[in-house]
Every structure is written in structure tokens, then in C-alpha cells.
């Protein structure tokens, strides 16, 4: 048997995970039909909410949130290095010659 390529392996694993996920969601939904529960739980079932989209088709377009258009702000150029107003001269720090 020829070695399965990585792409085919990933597609098979994805397909199997969807099938098993749908089967587990169906088995969980059957569990809600016990006569002691009355058919529908009083609170929201987190497992049902988590598995709600397993049986549906993917959306036709990816979800894009509307955002504001980009605006160009005019800026003034800043000099790379500021020029100091005070120019210090080096001064000798030796003892006085009379000592």
C-alpha cells in the first residue's frame, strides 16, 4: 500500500472527527429525551451549545467585522538630533599652579 500523503491524512482525520462529533452530539441529544427530564432541560446545556454547529454547513463567506476606514494623518517631520542652545567648553580640572 502506498504511503498516504500528509494532505490526504489531514483530510481523512478532519472527516472522521466531524463524523464522530456529529454522532456524539446526536447521542447527547438522545440523552435529553429521558422521561425524568421532561424533554427539555430548564437551563442551557453547555454541551448542546458547543456542538450546535457540527451538523451545519460552513458559512458562505468568512466573518468580517466592519471597521473604520484607515485615515492618513499629516505629521510634521522631526529632526533626528536636537541641537543644544548651550555649547559647553572643556575646562581643565587640575590643581592651581601655586600649590
What are the pLDDT digits (tens) for 37-48?
555 556 778 888
Measure the CA angle with vertex 59, ends 49 and 5; round to 5°.
Answer: 95
Contacts of residue 6, defined as CB under 8 A and 6 or more positions apart, other chains included, come to none
Residue 68 covered by a domain: no
Residue 93 covered by a domain: no
Residue 74 covered by a domain: no
Whose cell is 437551563? That residue is 43
Residue 42 covered by a domain: yes
In this prediction, residue 2 has a pLDDT band, given cuts at 50, 70 and 90, of low
Mean pLDDT of the chain: 76
- The total domain count for the chain is 1
Take residue 75 and report the three cell numbers written for it. Answer: 505629521
Residue 69 covered by a domain: no
Residue 62 covered by a domain: no
Is the pLDDT at 97 greater than 60, yes or no?
Answer: yes
Answer yes or no: are the C-beta atoms of 21 and 54 closer than 8 Å.
Answer: yes
- Domain with 34, as residue range(s), is 10-50
Residue 71 covered by a domain: no
Residue 46 covered by a domain: yes
Whose cell is 498516504? That residue is 4
Amino acid at each position: 500500500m502506498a504511503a498516504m500523503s500528509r494532505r490526504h491524512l489531514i483530510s481523512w482525520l478532519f472527516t472522521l472527527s466531524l463524523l464522530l462529533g456529529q454522532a456524539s452530539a446526536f447521542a447527547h441529544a438522545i440523552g435529553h429525551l429521558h422521561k425524568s427530564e421532561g424533554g427539555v432541560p430548564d437551563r442551557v446545556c453547555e454541551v448542546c451549545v458547543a456542538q450546535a454547529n457540527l451538523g451545519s454547513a460552513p458559512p458562505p463567506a468568512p466573518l468580517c467585522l466592519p471597521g473604520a476606514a484607515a485615515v492618513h494623518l499629516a505629521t510634521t517631520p522631526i529632526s533626528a538630533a536636537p541641537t543644544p542652545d548651550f555649547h559647553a567648553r572643556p575646562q581643565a580640572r587640575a590643581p592651581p599652579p601655586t600649590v
